[in-house]
Amino acid sequence: MSAGVRDSSFSAWKSQWRPVPSHWWRIVLVVLAFLSGLVAIAVLGHFLVMPVLKSRFPDISPHTKELVQFGIVGVQFVVGLSAFLLAKRLLHKQEPSVLASSPTNFRAMDVVISGALFLVLVLISAVLVDGIQPIVDRLADYPVSAWASLLLIALIAVGIQASSEEVVFRGYLLPVLASKMSVLAAVVVTTAVFTVGHPQSGIYGTIGVALFSLLFSVSILRAGSISFAMGAHITNNLAMMLVFPEMSNADARAIDVAYLAASLLIWLAYVDYVVRKRRSR
């Protein structure tokens, strides 16, 4: 990976991992701890929580069902992230940051602005591909009061979900791998692991997931922080789960991947602009 893509702050980040016990088996177990937490709650929700709700409340409303589903997602990733942090502490002994190369590199405002920009790009792409009618129809599903509660729960749950994935895959796996191999190889391995973690996505869905991981990784090499990627990841998932709840990665088409790539490149240009502006100061 060229020096023009990789910023010195990322080099400092990966160097923090060099004196830390980070054998391959430790890295694998830490990632597996995260995935095990996700799977455990997903199985519990699918085979216990949802069946019990359906049996006791056969007339449960679609709105309530969505609230419960978002709640399960939130709990799922709280458990997964907790298992990850515990395994990381036990197996690596020390605590290199999983947010940025230094505390000042992680900025909450970057999360918010980056997320808002990517949300706009996602919605524009959706309108250009399928028109505005699917969004209008979806908004008509619930009254404003119901949307307010759904948006609040979804923002909390998806915020935890997307942030956890950024922490594990780009805040932990990318720099720890970069301390053991070339940065390019670390990006490739991180992208592969992240993509494999999204099975049954179909051809175009898999390409889209890989694009996300690849360009999010590039943003982290530039910024030395997961803040930009975290914001974009949260709003992308929020838009998909709220506005297009019936769609999945497996439904992606070639045109969707094309617009996703364009959106990611525009977003990455913004990240690069912000980073360059800060470095020039």
For residue 254, being part of any structural domain is answered with: yes
The pLDDT of residue 255: 95
Cα–Cα distance measured from residue 273 to residue 32, given in angstroms and rounded to the nearest whole number: 36
- Residue 2 maps to a domain: no
Q: Kindly state whether residue 3 falls inside one of the protein's structural domains.
A: no
pTM: 0.92
Residue 59 lies in a domain: yes
Tokens of 16: 């923090």
Cα(45)–Cα(80) distance, rounded to whole angstroms? 14
Distance separating alpha carbons of residues 56 and 208, to the nearest angstrom: 39
How confident is the model over 102-138, as pLDDT tens digits?
A: 988 999 999 999 999 999 999 999 999 999 999 999 9
- Count: domains in the chain: 1
Measured at the CA of 111, the angle between CA 16 and CA 263, to 5 degrees, comes to: 105
Residues 196-247: pLDDT tens digits? 988 888 899 999 999 999 999 999 999 999 999 999 999 999 999 999 888 8
Does 125 reside within a domain? yes
Question: 142 in a domain, yes or no?
Answer: yes
CA distance 17 to 25: 15
| 1 — pLDDT class (breaks 50, 70, 90) | low
Q: Is residue 104 part of a domain?
A: yes
Res 272: pLDDT: 95
259 lies in some domain: yes
Report pLDDT for 4.
55
For residue 52, give both structure tokens.
């019990």
Question: For the segment 145-199, what is each residue's pLDDT rounded down to a tens digit?
Answer: 999 999 999 999 999 999 999 999 999 999 999 999 999 999 999 999 999 988 8
Which residues constitute the domain of residue 94? 8-280
Closest by Cα among 127, 114, 131, 155 to 264: 114
**Percentage with pLDDT > 90 across the chain:** 74
Q: Which segment of 51-55, 70-74, 219-223, 235-239 scores lowest on mean pLDDT?
A: 51-55
Please write the tens of the pLDDT for every residue from 18-42. 999 989 999 999 999 999 989 888 8
